[in-house]
Homo-oligomer: A and B are copies of this chain.
């Protein structure tokens, strides 16, 4: 089994209380791939510019990520510059965005990829997410993420997409915004009623909530004291969830609970260093150990 993810591949410049890093490999698809990769073969669909460093290509290849649909175009790679303040490490302040090739081009899928069954639409313009989903006519299990920008500017397209996906994974603010509900359970039920069979609401340092017709599950976050850089935590979470579901090929309660747990564990590693630095050196044993500790924290 394998999964194809549509998302951004970016060069991130990030300032946090722990320091400043420039032109790190980032983007929603890259973060997603780092965790999904632990469970299943990941095909990364995204666009990069002429300036995209060869070392990043090598890095992704060494992680065994399929790059057939990582499409290089004339122009510059998408760049994001952000900052996190000490008072609120949960909130990214965008200092600058240069869309580059993201504004004008779209990844080209191989024949093999056009027949894939598992798809994740990471944060991207909703019309392009829909186009991607149409191209892959064979898609059977589809996950969706979005962001406040699209909910503000293209809410109809986002809602149209919600009818076509199996699982939506959004954060607390997006869930409240999309549903108009301040209560998270009410927001989850509202999103569920818009179409998807499963709803996950990410609550950052407070964990995540799963809601479907047959299962409600709430898990706190794994406590991390040394939060260095939260960039990509939500995408890493989604990669853990979607990767584990793809590997399991089942959607029973115990698989879904564990998928949620893996999402939380992978994102807890992600925030412990800049960019992909921590997840890049993550070993199966690290994940297993932290998962065991997490279960221990929750036992009662």
Contact = CB atoms under 8 A, between A and B. Distances in A.
Interface of A: 86-89, 182-186, 189, 203, 205-207, 209, 216-221, 223-225, 227, 254, 257-258, 260-261, 295, 297-300
A267 to B, nearest CB: 15
Contact of A216 (B186, B223, B224): B223
A260 B300 contact: yes
Nearest to A257: B300
A300 B87 contact: no
Given A203-B206, A209-B223, 12 more contacts: A88-B182, A206-B220, A207-B220, A218-B221, A218-B297, A218-B298, A219-B220, A219-B298, A219-B300, A258-B300, A298-B298, A298-B300
B183 A227 contact: yes
User: Interface on chain A toward B: helix, strand, loop, or mixed SS?
Assistant: mixed
How many identical chains are in the complex? 2
A183 to B, nearest CB: 6
Contacts of A209: 223
Nearest to A208: B220
Contacts of A225: 183, 185-186, 189
Contacts of A88: 182
A223 B295 contact: no
Nearest to A222: B218
Q: What 10 A-B pairs have minimum CB-CB distances, sorted nearest first?
A: A257-B300, A206-B206, A218-B220, A185-B223, A185-B225, A220-B220, A261-B300, A186-B225, A218-B297, A183-B225
A224 to B, nearest CB: 7
Which one of A86, A87, A89, A297 has the highest number of Cβ atoms from chain B below 10 Å of its Cβ?
A297
Which one of A184, A186, A300 has the highest number of Cβ atoms from chain B below 10 Å of its Cβ?
A300
Contacts of A300: 217, 219, 254, 257-258, 260-261, 295, 298
Contact of A218 (B184, B189, B223): B223
A29 to B, nearest CB: 27
A34 B217 CA distance: 28
Contacts of A254: 300
Contacts of A220: 206-207, 218-220
A71 B249 CA distance: 65
